Amino acid sequence: MQRIALLERFSRNFNGGGGSGIPKALLVVCAVSGGAGFVAYSEAVSNNTPTVADLTETQIKKKRVVVLGTGWAGTSFLKNLNDPSYDVQVISPRNYFAFTPLLPSVTSGTVEPRSIAEPIRNIIRKKKVEIHYSEAECIKIDAQNKKVYCLSNDKTNLKGREEFAVDFDYLVIAVGARPNTFNIPGVEENTLFLKEVEDAQKIRKTVIECFEKADLPNLDDEARKKLLHFVVVGGGPTGVEFAAQLHDFLAEDLSKLYPTIKDFVKITLLEGTDHILNMFDKRITAFAEDKFKRDGINLRTGSMVVNVSDKDISIKDIKSGSISSEPYGMIVWSTGIGTRPVMIDLMKQIGQGNRRVLATDEWLRVEGSDTIYALGDCATINQRKVMEDIADIFKKADKDNSGTLTVKEFQEVLKDICERYPQLELYLKNKQMHSLVDLLKASKGDIKESVEVDIEEFKSALSQVDMLMKNLPATAQVASQQGVYLANCFNRMEECQKNPEGPLRIRGEGRHRFHPFRYRHLGQFAPLGGEQTAAQLPGDWVSIGHSTQWLWYSVYASKQVSWRTRALVVSDWLRRFIFGRDSSSL
Amino acid sequence: MQRIALLERFSRNFNGGGGSGIPKALLVVCAVSGGAGFVAYSEAVSNNTPTVADLTETQIKKKRVVVLGTGWAGTSFLKNLNDPSYDVQVISPRNYFAFTPLLPSVTSGTVEPRSIAEPIRNIIRKKKVEIHYSEAECIKIDAQNKKVYCLSNDKTNLKGREEFAVDFDYLVIAVGARPNTFNIPGVEENTLFLKEVEDAQKIRKTVIECFEKADLPNLDDEARKKLLHFVVVGGGPTGVEFAAQLHDFLAEDLSKLYPTIKDFVKITLLEGTDHILNMFDKRITAFAEDKFKRDGINLRTGSMVVNVSDKDISIKDIKSGSISSEPYGMIVWSTGIGTRPVMIDLMKQIGQGNRRVLATDEWLRVEGSDTIYALGDCATINQRKVMEDIADIFKKADKDNSGTLTVKEFQEVLKDICERYPQLELYLKNKQMHSLVDLLKASKGDIKESVEVDIEEFKSALSQVDMLMKNLPATAQVASQQGVYLANCFNRMEECQKNPEGPLRIRGEGRHRFHPFRYRHLGQFAPLGGEQTAAQLPGDWVSIGHSTQWLWYSVYASKQVSWRTRALVVSDWLRRFIFGRDSSSL
């Protein structure tokens, strides 16, 4: 109930007359509140550069939007934001956008690290919107005082980290997630992740170092086997693609350069469930498992990691319960995502402390806050359930307050209800029904003429609908579409304030300002190595093989964020075809 | 005198009947001598891979050559070694050859790190000679027992370093040098060097980090100026090229991406002497100094660094003696080379403890050892002086022991003397004399007919000759030519043992086995930024400007070690022309 109350409160603020609830002036709050050693942003006044203090004079009406993160969601938001009435501040520890679907290719040196990175300053430089970028990490979000606290990077030998605070009118959180270790002991210390470009570089270096060490003159076979045992934990798309890339790298390139030790190499892929790629069609899973077996990849499904020491990985067979230990050279951990500490702290502030992931509504607004948006891997959309709102839906549809609904009444609100509750549309589609009316008919039995149902009949007709609700996957595609969506909302904020375009409010008056976010799945690839790729395209169309690999090449080339990275990635692929992959320990 | 004695001893061993002094059998000495915890190489016996223990059975006659280093000298030696009767073991902490003249280009991202690196295993794989590579650092050379002790790398998170020892019949040392800090306090801790590819990557990252930090919102102008003060110490070719590259990177790329802070940037180039590039022609120096002044590079000649703290660099003006301190963001230290600890230890063992750099004779054999060769930056050739050997020279030429030399006697030994003492040939050339006879004539006054001189007249005629002796510069060109030279010696070891091809021995009988090493200077480039390059070509031909830049491009492209790196470097240049340099902090 509390959640509904909160939601209603800020829905009202936002959509109704709520626009006026947002303070328009006083962009820079000079007081240092909750300081904890932080230097106020207002101290940045300098003589030569235009600062926020100057800007307040000339651009008093600009709303300050702070964007956290330069990944898929943040960059896509920035690229699509066109309304020059915002003053945008981007904060991210990474001064570039990385085309993460090519990270597995970076681990084998097929693609160069810099080829998939586009400096964020290159992207924002071309915009007409005023966008500033600061290379720093947000370490605390103060939702109450609309302030974020940041700490600059300390990657190189420049001494000390700078601290600063930034005020916002709107906050767009797109900080992504961290790898999920499930608190398994030793994972953090002894395994490598595959989330950042630096991770991919480190994996590549470690593979080469394992080979170089295994080729030293004074080792026995056991030591060589240990060093050349590569373990991949997680049979999702990333883990599978990495295992495939690693296999190709070893088979096509390293085996030629290290002929005397190539027979000691073993790749083990661990997956907790019974099958790898279990979010894909069964045909793809079967093909991948077959191919990996043919390639000699040691596929162990139904296996759970229970401990990782600096020498061994302990694996529990879920069926038998037996635990075995194996020495390893390198472990890559790719088992899904967890919540960043800064987000956990925010969730506590806004009454989401008992959730695992930050929840937003269908408009990507953080539940419990009226000025904070979150998108990408750092949040999930909390789609409202039909059954929770069933009384309100009935009431809204029953215009004449008769206690029963007629077909005509239905049809008037049908479109709005389907937009507000997409699971309903999906349900009808799955059952091959053309409208809600068919559903009601079905629930009442085969009554041909005008249908009229009461609330109980209505409930029973819709009782199964919410079972079709699914969280969106944590993919680049979702994050990117959310960025586009939110930028369009920001671009038309004032326009839609006057002429709301969204569906009817079920638990309130009038209409929602915007259409809710709707994800369009464009398909997903699973590269399996050896120039073979599987793809699951919209409409459950499955395509596997060499031709799909070429589709993969063309889609990934076309999706590059700039002509520069496109040219680089394509030339990297060419280079790999001609010269193979590089094995220098750089 | 001691040095001469040593030289003579091992000259005798090597060239006379000395070939027999080299133990041919017993390649693997199993005893662990001077062990200090080292695992003997003989323990490496394994079942599956061919090991040294097996090899001794089948290849008993193969001489084991250990090569330390995969830089210019080592790689050039390996590329040119063709005699399959050697069993070669390469040991280097770097499993790739790096085209170091392009390192300054890597600092600005004009060229990618991996484009100038060729894996050493790629190079040796194509050879018919049996070559093994181990990625390890040589930490001790035992000249007496013909053994090197090695330690594997520890770059990645692979735990522990492996120790092993390798025996040799011949040792080829090509470990290069370390940056010379002149023991100035704080240099090691606070400055960046530019010797390895990793150094160049670190410099590039630091430049970007300096800009990112200086663009943070809460800094005052002083802090921004500090962060954007880039100091280059050393006005040699590397320091000058780096300063030029840095200037181009800032002017052409970063100034567009960081428009608000670009006016805070300062580049300071410090040089101890009165001019930069003082090994070049004066026209080049003048052009470079003019260009740097126009570019706004703060050129401070006659300046010596006396201390570097984590915040300031203290500079002494040599003329006035005054010391000033300046805050900095980054310092690149490029003031020449020093000797590696492993070399200092070796020098003590072989009686060169009082020298600064390891000395070899003109055949690249280490003085004081008869099986160790050294080439590249880790050694200098100790060219014998004419005046030291003057009595022997006179005696050798005076065949009839008459106490005077005739023209005929001269002409018989002239070629040999000029080959053995190249400074003599240079001296004649400088004085525009056609032969030694002219010199003798000149020393005796204008006597036209047959010249006859005694030892005192001979001495006086040659007294100035040794002043022309110069150490070879520490360049890639020298190292590379030395590698070719030494590989050719190894290829024809037996052949030339039977038929010596070198000059007459002055202090001994017969001929030297090989011609001594002779350096052919092919010219040197000094890229000055803005697509302008100066070049000093053979014959003191000077070329400056855009056309020279194109010469630079074509020479450096043609000198690449493989088609792969050639293609990569050229495509990197193309990319830079089209898209500019990348500014991501990768």
Predicted confidence (pLDDT) per residue in B207-233, tens digit? 999 999 999 998 899 999 999 999 999
Residue B308 tokens read as: 């570097």
Rounded mean pLDDT of chain B?
A: 85
**Helix/strand/coil (H, E, C) string of B46-69?**
CCCCCCHHHHHHHCCCCEEEEEEC
Confidence of residue A61 (pLDDT cuts 50, 70, 90): confident
**Contacting residues of B for A158, CB less than 8 Å apart:** 206, 209-210, 213, 227, 329-330
Q: What are the φ and ψ backbone dihedral angles of B421, each rounded to 5 degrees?
A: -125, 80
Is A47's CB within 8 Å of B257's CB? no
Over 60: is that where the pLDDT of A6 sits?
Answer: no
How many residues does this entry show for chain B? 586
Q: Do B46 and A215 touch (CB under 8 A)?
A: no
Give residue B585's pLDDT band: very low, low, confident or very high (50, 70, 90): confident
Q: Contacts of residue B213 in chain A, CB cutoff 8 Å?
A: 135, 152-153, 158, 162
What is the least distance, in Å, from the CA of A190 to any CA of chain B? 8
The partner residue sitting opposite B205, judged by closest CB among A46, A155, A166, is A155
Q: Is the pLDDT of residue B22 over 50?
A: no
Question: Is A121's CB within 8 Å of B575's CB?
Answer: no
What is the pLDDT confidence band of residue A509, given thresholds at 50, 70 and 90?
Answer: confident
Is A44 in Cβ contact with B218 (below 8 Å)?
yes
pLDDT at residue B285 in the model: 95
The per-residue pLDDT for A370 is 86
Q: Does B499 touch chain A (CB under 8 A)?
A: no
Count of helix runs (H) and strand runs (E) in chain A: 21, 25
Q: Tell me the average pLDDT across A44-56.
A: 44
The answer to whether A183 touches A189, Cβ cutoff 8 Å, is no
Predicted local confidence at residue A274, as pLDDT:
95
* Higher-scoring residue by pLDDT: A306, B2: A306
Question: Under an 8 A CB cutoff, do A585 and B44 touch?
Answer: no
pLDDT of residue B18: 35
* B257 contact residues in A (CB cutoff 8 A): 119, 121-122, 125
Model pLDDT for residues B284-332, shown as the tens digit of each residue: 999 999 999 999 999 999 999 999 999 999 999 999 999 999 999 999 9
What's the pLDDT at B156?
57
| Beta strands B117-119 and B96-98, pairing class | antiparallel
Taking contacts as CB-CB distances below 8 angstroms, the residues of chain A near B198 are 586
CB within 8 Å of chain B, chain A residues 172-211: 190, 192, 197-198, 202, 205-206, 208-210
- Listed in sequence order, the residues at least 6 apart from A19 whose beta carbon sits closer than 8 Å to its beta carbon are A497
Tokens of B492: 């024809």
Q: What is the pLDDT of residue B445?
A: 62
H or E element, residue A460: helix A455-462
B124/chain A closest Cα distance in angstroms: 9
Per the structure block, which two tokens stand in for B325? 């301190």
Decide if pLDDT at A432 tops 90.
no
Q: Considering only residues 502 to 521 of chain B, which have any Cβ-Cβ distance to chain A shorter than 8 Å?
A: none
The distance of B123 to chain A (nearest Cα, Å) reads 10
**Predicted pLDDT of residue B118:** 94
- What is the per-residue pLDDT for B429? 82
Contact residues on chain A for B583, CB-CB shorter than 8 A: 95, 119, 121-122
pLDDT at A33 over 50: no
Local confidence band at A156 (pLDDT 50, 70, 90 cut-offs): low
Tokens of B341: 């600890």
- Judged against a pLDDT cut of 90, whether residue B410 lies above it is answered with no
- Answer yes or no: is pLDDT of B265 > 90: yes
Q: How confident is the model at residue B399 (pLDDT cuts 50, 70, 90)?
A: confident
Looking at every residue in chain A, the average pLDDT score rounds to 85
A517-533, pLDDT tens digit by residue?
Answer: 999 989 999 999 989 99
Contacts with A, B 79-118, CB within 8 Å: 94-96, 109, 112-114, 117-118
State residue B234's pLDDT score: 95
| Residue corresponding to tokens 């500033």 | A132
Compute the average pLDDT of residues B499-514: 90
pLDDT value, residue A465: 87
With a CB cutoff of 8 Å and minimum separation 6, the contacts of A550 are none
Whether residue B329 lies within 8 A of chain A, CB to CB, comes out as yes
CB burial readout A517-550, b (16+ within 10 A) else e: beeeeeebbbbbbbebbbbbeeeeebebeeebbe
Nearest to A81 by CA among A62, A107, A99, A98: A62
Is A450 an 8 Å CB contact of chain B? no
Q: How many CB pairs under 8 A join A and B?
A: 220
Out of B39, B158, B209, name the one closest to residue A209 (CB). B158
Burial of A409 (0-12, 13-18, 19+ CB in 10 A): middle
Q: What percent of chain A has pLDDT over 70?
A: 87
Q: Supply the pLDDT for residue B447.
A: 53
Contact at CB, A41 and B227, closer than 8 angstroms = no
Which chain B residues contact residue A109 at CB under 8 A? 114
| Residues in chain B within 8 Å Cβ distance of A252 | none
Across the interface, whether the CB atoms of B164 and A208 are under 8 A apart is answered no
Choose the weakest-confidence range: A58-67, B390-399, B543-552: A58-67
When pLDDT is cut at 50, 70 and 90, the band that residue B409 belongs to is: confident
Identify the pLDDT of residue B8: 38
Kindly state the average pLDDT of the residues B482-501: 94
- The shortest CB-CB distance from A48 to any of B206, B263, B310 is to B263
- How are beta strands A524-529 and A358-360 bridged, if at all? unpaired
- What pLDDT digit, counting tens, does each position of A325-376 carry? 999 999 999 999 999 999 999 999 999 999 999 999 999 999 988 899 999 9
Token pair listed for B205:
């990252």
pLDDT tens track for A264-286: 999 999 999 999 998 899 999 99
Distance separating alpha carbons of residues B258 and A14, to the nearest angstrom = 36
- Listed by number, the residues of chain B in 42-81 with a beta carbon closer than 8 Å to a beta carbon of chain A are 43-44, 46-52
Verify whether the Cβ–Cβ distance B118 to A571 is below 8 Å: no
Asked if A261 and B49 touch (Cβ cutoff 8 Å), the reply is yes
What distance in Å separates residue B100's CA from the closest CA in chain A?
14
Buried-state track A51-60, b at ≥16 Cβ within 10 A, e below 16: bbeebbeebe
Structure token digits, residue A57: 């004079």
What pLDDT, on a 0 to 100 scale, did the predictor assign at position A12?
Answer: 37
Question: What's B514-556 look like in SS3?
Answer: CCCCCCCCCCEEEEEECCEEEEEECCCEEEEEHHHHHHHHHHH
What percent of chain B is predicted at pLDDT more than 90? 60
Pairing verdict, β B404-406 and B452-454: antiparallel
Provide the pLDDT confidence category of residue A433 given band limits of 50, 70 and 90. confident
B126 and chain A: CB distance < 8 Å anywhere?
no
A567 contact residues in B (CB cutoff 8 A): 575, 578-579
Q: Is pLDDT of B347 > 60?
A: yes
Rounded CA-CA distance B151/B340 in Å is 15
- Listed range (A186-195, A418-427, A574-583, B15-24) with the worst mean pLDDT: B15-24
pLDDT at B336 over 70: yes
Does the CA dihedral B9-B14-B19-B24 come out positive or negative? Answer: positive
d(CA A323, CA A305): 9
Tokens coding A198: 């630096």
Across the range A451-474, mean pLDDT stands at 85
User: Other CB atoms closer than 10 Å to residue A499's CB: what's the count?
Assistant: 9
pLDDT tens, residue by residue, A539-564? 878 999 999 999 899 899 988 888 88
pLDDT bin (cut points 50, 70, 90) of residue B444 is: low
